[in-house]
Structure 1
Amino acid sequence: MTGCIFVAHFALPSSVRLCGGGLPTTYKAVQFHLHWGEEQQPGSEHSVDGERYPMELHIVHIKEQYSSLQEAESDTTGIAALAFFFEVTSEPNKHFDRVIEALGRVRYQGNSSTILGFRLADIILPASKLSYYRYSGSLTTPGCDQIVVWTVFHQTLPISQKQLALVTRQLLYRTEKPMTGVFRPMQNLNRRIVFTSVKSDGVRALPGLITLFLCFFCAFGQQR
């Protein structure tokens, strides 16, 4: 894949750690960002059983020994990304309004702003309600290197059609056109093995993931 994909990055505190659940080591948070399509069109970078969603959230982490995302890119498992799908609902996601408002303050490339008092845990489901897919894959922005441990969650996050429209209209290219279609086209599986969690008395396939995310979301709850 060539060319550029512009996305708004929300910086996260590196004190947040991600470990266990089959991950090769401990990772620290770097940022989260969103991918979306045209208004009322699919914009997710993953699909489940052929179904795509209007928007996808990525929470990006790097191995704790690295000082930057660029440094982690030299490692085949240097990056761990969590992916959540958004699904359109009749009721708005009130907690997500904070993110939408922030996007409205960074309409052009190079702009920056701060979300005061925001907790990422407010827009993500409790760990006990999550199940997921896990596979080794690539970055979805150039140069798309095979260096990411992906965790893609089954459960979707709500967003109203009005909220989604605000997201797709607010960021602008230098031409003043809305920044839409900011996602990588669907790629072939290319013999990658995709694991899935199975809930019964606990989590199978990747034991310890529930503990991993309980710690993760607790850490986010303490950050401001």
Structure 2
Amino acid sequence: MYQETTVNFQIPYLLMEYRLLTLVLMVGTMQMQKIGNVIVEIYHILELVVTCGGSYQSPIDIVTTGASQQPVQPKIYYKNKASDVGYEEVNTPYTKEYEGEYSSIQVLDASGLVVRYYAKQFHIHTPSEHTIDGKHFDLEIHFVHQVNAIQDEEQDCNKVKNSLTVFGLMFTESASATDYEAFKPWFDQNMTGEVESFDLNDFFQKMTDSTYYHYDGSLTTLPCSQIVNWIVFYQPLPISTFQLNQFRATFADSTAFPLKQNNRPIQHLNGRKILKGTALTAGVTEIPDVQSSQACLLLLSIVMGAFIL
């Protein structure tokens, strides 16, 4: 079981401040024609500082007693099965992440509208980033989905409210849990960067309680854009000690995370409403595949990678 620590270094954010200080000091020694570029970089870093201090930041502590009831979510069912698509590992020193072309789902946004999203990537945080009634969990997986309406190659996904929906699934260490077949390819030493896909539905079908909590928030990594429609599931799934330790070993040699934890600290709610609902996970719903936007896929890679710069 995860034990809360009293010290929580957030090295990547400290590195961002260090970059700003270094750039300021460099101005006095650089040639005049380069000062303009430095000023632009300083402005960009200051912009990140302001965004990461916004009022709609994630993760949050979900206080269940204060949540308002929301209508039932549409069925969570991904049309594509294990033989349909491949998953490519993204090399990042701060998480275990896979990207691929998946099928779409229909999701309620925080305003109660049904919007079509399609899954783009998933990655892990250990311990969990969100807490429920003050409690951390051993692992949290984020399934990142992009809104179907963003098709324009020139459109910036990072500036469209609720352009992303992220499912947060919690996992708790269990001595009796069996290993997930879905996780095994993540740690296959013979893997060449792309692995045979698996059925994302497996995680949701294992839930006996599909209660979720829903709120408007942000990316938990730089640039902290406040564009995320968060759906955090209440029931943790069991994970074996062996597989949990495999995930934790991802950070064994990480200099960015000396405590071997890659979770962002809890952010203030700032008056936001938390909604409560139930997702339908049983049965089969045929949802047509959608055309992906390569521009937004590239942006997602940049957004997740920016955390380590």
The two structures have a TM-score, normalised by structure 2, of 0.54
Deviation at 1:87, TM superposition (A): 0.7
* Percentage of pairs with the same residue: 27
Deviation at 1:180, TM superposition (A): 2.5
Q: Which has the larger radius of gyration?
A: 2
- Specify the code of the residue in structure 2 equivalent to 1:32: F
Q: CA-to-partner distance for each residue in 1:126-146, whole Å, 9 max, x for gaps?
A: 577411100001110011121
1:35 to 113, 122, 125: 125
1:121 to 186, 196, 201: 201
Distance of 2:262 and 2:285 partners within structure 1:
27
CA shift in 2, pair 1:178/1:65, >3 Å: same
Is 1:160 matched with 2:240? yes
Match in the other structure for 2:249: 169
Question: RMSD of the TM alignment (CA)?
Answer: 3.4
- Specify the code of the residue in structure 1 equivalent to 2:136: R
- Specify the code of the residue in structure 2 equivalent to 1:18: Q
2:226 to 130, 137, 146: 146
Match in the other structure for 2:266: 186
CA contact (8 A) 2:170 2:237 kept: yes
Q: How many residues matched?
A: 195
Distance of 2:261 and 2:192 partners within structure 1:
21
Is 1:52 matched with 2:154? no
Q: CA-to-partner distance for each residue in 1:81-114, whole Å, 9 max, x for gaps?
A: 110110111223322x5424414549xxxx9623
CA shift in 2, pair 1:160/1:23, >3 Å: farther
1:83 to 168, 186, 193: 168
Match in the other structure for 1:92: 177
Match in the other structure for 1:102: 186
CA shift in 2, pair 1:214/1:81, >3 Å: farther
Structure 1 unaligned spans of 5+: 37-42, 198-202, 204-208, 220-224
CA shift in 2, pair 1:59/1:143, >3 Å: same
Deviation at 1:18, TM superposition (A): 2.9
Distance of 1:144 and 1:188 partners within structure 2:
14
Is 1:10 matched with 2:89? no
**SS, match of residue 205 in structure 2:** coil
CA shift in 2, pair 1:144/1:104, >3 Å: farther
Q: Is the helix fraction higher in 1 or 2?
A: 2
- Specify the code of the residue in structure 1 equivalent to 2:105: R
CA shift in 2, pair 1:94/1:195, >3 Å: same
CA contact (8 A) 1:105 1:113 kept: no
